[in-house]
Amino acid sequence: MKSKAELSEEIRKLLKERNAIMLAHNYQRDEVQELADISGDSLGLSQSAAESDAEVIVFCGVHFMAESAAILAPEKTVILPRMDAGCPMADMITGEQLRAEKEKRPNVPVVAYVNTTAEVKAYSDICCTSANALKVAESVDSDEVYMVPDRNLAQYTARFTDKKISWWDGYCPTHENLTAADVKKAKEENPSALFMCHPECSPEVIDMADHVCSTSGMYKYAKESEAKSFIIGTEMGILYRLRKDNPDKEFILPSQKLICPNMKLITLEDVLQSLKEMKNIVTVPEDIRKKSLVALNKMLKVPRD
Ligand code: 13P
Ligand code: SF4
């Protein structure tokens, strides 16, 4: 078996040879984040994929993220090192189900969280991520908005807008694993810690938070805050960079269930193998790509926090 250093060296060499760039989501395994050229949240990585000059994008994340890169940059080859790395929340609504919902409310624009398939994006008016959901909802020229697939992100957005927000009843199984009792216990054990969480958490958990934001928003908040300890309400992969960037601060995970199995599938061996063989290439049929691109591009024009 090759060592981490050997694998990393081979991957770096191949990335160069293939004019490739390696992107990693903030929930990826530590060693994958460490080697990546860029790590970030869904929105930041989509933007990096679109702006990069590389010919090949090795997307270490889950399927919808690689698909977004393929939609935004069709001239590039997008590799997802493990094709089985999906997002259960994205799979909670199909294009057909969304089409049926739209028939029930013909004049209500659809805001699709990027955690959706390309087909669902194609049926939507505009996309959003956890970093810009409120701004996106506000940007839509309508008093009413239908959000898919995350009920928690939709209900959180509804707290800050006068628009009528309705939603599909999807959710992230990983974030819903975090209970209000877990947070209460962590707060009791760490009374001076601030609690920050992702908007995919349940409303009861969000009610207990000092700060609610995307994964990249958490890095910013931890860095800028004067607090010395933080309880983290999101997938545990985020701890790698939080701890690396803030060695003087403490980060507490309130539940060991905050793990997304799909985000942990990609290993350095998978990255190397897929690059070597140029396999696991994500493509989107051109008719769906063109329609979903409209929704993604509209989102990218909305300023982020
Ligand atoms: P971010 O957009 O905050 O990176 O979140 C993506 C995700 O899958 C959260 O579960
Ligand atoms: Fe999907 Fe949740 Fe995993 Fe994010 S953490 S990829 S929303 S299942």
Confidence at residue 84, expressed as pLDDT on a 0 to 100 scale: 98
- In this structure, whether the domain defined by 90-172+288-300 belongs to CATH 3.40.50.10800 is answered with yes
- Percent of the chain scoring above 90 in pLDDT: 94
Q: What is the pLDDT of residues 251-298, one digit of tens each?
A: 999 999 999 999 999 999 999 999 999 999 999 999 999 999 999 999
| CATH fold for domain 4-86+263-283 | Rossmann fold (3.40.50)
Residue 227 has pLDDT above 90, yes or no: yes
Q: What is the CATH number of domain 178-252?
A: 3.40.50.10800
Q: How far apart are CA 137 and CA 132, in angstroms?
A: 9
- Quote the mean pLDDT of the chain: 96
Task: State the average pLDDT over residues 215-228.
Answer: 95
Write a three-state SS string for the chain: CCCHHHHHHHHHHHHHHCCEEEEEECCCCHHHHHHCCEEECHHHHHHHHHHCCCCEEEEECCHHHHHHHHHHCCCCEEECCCCCCCCCCHHHCCHHHHHHHHHHCCCCCEEEECCCCHHHHHCCCEEECCCCHHHHHHHCCCCEEEEECEHHHHHHHHCCCCCEEEECCECCHHHHCCCHHHHHHHHHHCCCCEEEECCCCCHHHHCCCCEECCHHHHHHHHHHCCCCEEEEECCHHHHHHHHHHCCCCEEECCCCCCCCHHHHCCCHHHHHHHHHHCCCECCCCHHHHHHHHHHHHHHHHCCCC
Q: What is the pLDDT of residues 63-110, one digit of tens each?
A: 999 999 999 999 999 999 999 999 999 999 999 999 999 999 999 999
Q: How confident is the model at residue 304 (pLDDT cuts 50, 70, 90)?
A: low
Residue 43 has pLDDT above 80, yes or no: no
Query: Identical fold at 90-172+288-300 and 178-252?
Result: yes
Asked which of 39-53, 171-185, 211-225, 264-278 is least confident by mean pLDDT, the reply is 39-53
Atom of ligand 1 nearest to the CA of 62: 8
Cβ 67 vs Cβ 45: under 8 Å: no
Domain regions of the chain by residue span: 4-86+263-283, 90-172+288-300, 178-252
Ligand 2 centroid distance, CA of 27 (Å): 9
Q: How far apart are CA 229 and CA 198, in angstroms?
A: 17
Task: State the average pLDDT over residues 108-119.
Answer: 98
Indicate if ligand 2 lies below 6 Å from the C-beta of 174: yes
Ligand 2 centroid distance, CA of 259 (Å): 9
Indicate if ligand 1 lies below 6 Å from the C-beta of 28: no
Q: What is the pLDDT of residues 26-36, one digit of tens each?
A: 999 999 999 99
Q: How far apart are CA 121 and CA 150, in angstroms?
A: 14
Indicate if ligand 2 lies below 6 Å from the C-beta of 172: yes
Burial class from Cβ neighbours inside 10 Å (0-12, 13-18, 19+) for residue 257 reads middle
Which pairs from 40-43 meet CB under 8 Å and 24+ separation? Answer: 40/215, 40/216, 41/129, 41/130, 41/131, 41/214, 41/215, 41/216, 41/217, 42/68, 42/114, 42/115, 42/129, 42/130, 42/131, 42/214, 43/114, 43/129, 43/131, 43/132, 43/214, 43/216, 43/304
Ligand 1 centroid distance, CA of 263 (Å): 11
